[in-house]
Amino acid sequence: MEIKEFIQNFAEQFEDTDASVFTPDTVFHDLDEWGSLIGLSIIAMIDDEYGVTIKGDELRTAKTVADVFELVKSKK
């Protein structure tokens, strides 16, 4: 799995935040738009695209997009 593609999938879950904002270092919890529905969408996207189940607490602990990427990779 590629981080570039992961960031793209991650960014797609946001409505108002432009895809160009997202880098591996983006602290996504700090984005204005971040909220529970986006969190649930990220969890569902990861299940769909990567066949990996992550928990709310794991997503909560991850700081950056790269952290989530590593988490998914470690569970694959």
Partner 1 sequence: MYNPFSLEGKTILVTGAGGGIGRATAVACSKMGAVLVITDINPETLTETLSLLEADGDRKHLMFVADLTKEEDLNEMVAAMPSLDGVVCNAGISKVLPIQFLNAEDMNRIMAINAFAPMYMTQRLYKKRCINKGGSIVYTVSISGVSMVSMGGVMYAVSKNALDAFMRNAALEFAGRNIRVNSVNPSRVKTPLIQNSVYSEEEVAKDLQTYPLKRYAEPEEIANSIIFLLSDAASYITGHALIVDGGKTLS
Give, rounded to a whole angstrom, the gap between the first and last alpha carbons of the chain: 10
User: Could you tell me the two tokens for 53?
Assistant: 């189940």
Q: Contacts with partner 1 in 2-41 (CB under 8 A)?
A: 36-37, 39-41
- Binding segment for partner 1 among 3-11, 14-22, 57-65, 67-75 (CB under 8 A)? 57-65
Please give the size of the binding site for partner 1, defined by CB under 8 A: 15
**Amino acid identity at 69:** F
Q: Which residues bind partner 1 (CB under 8 A)?
A: 36-37, 39-41, 43-45, 47-48, 55-57, 59-60
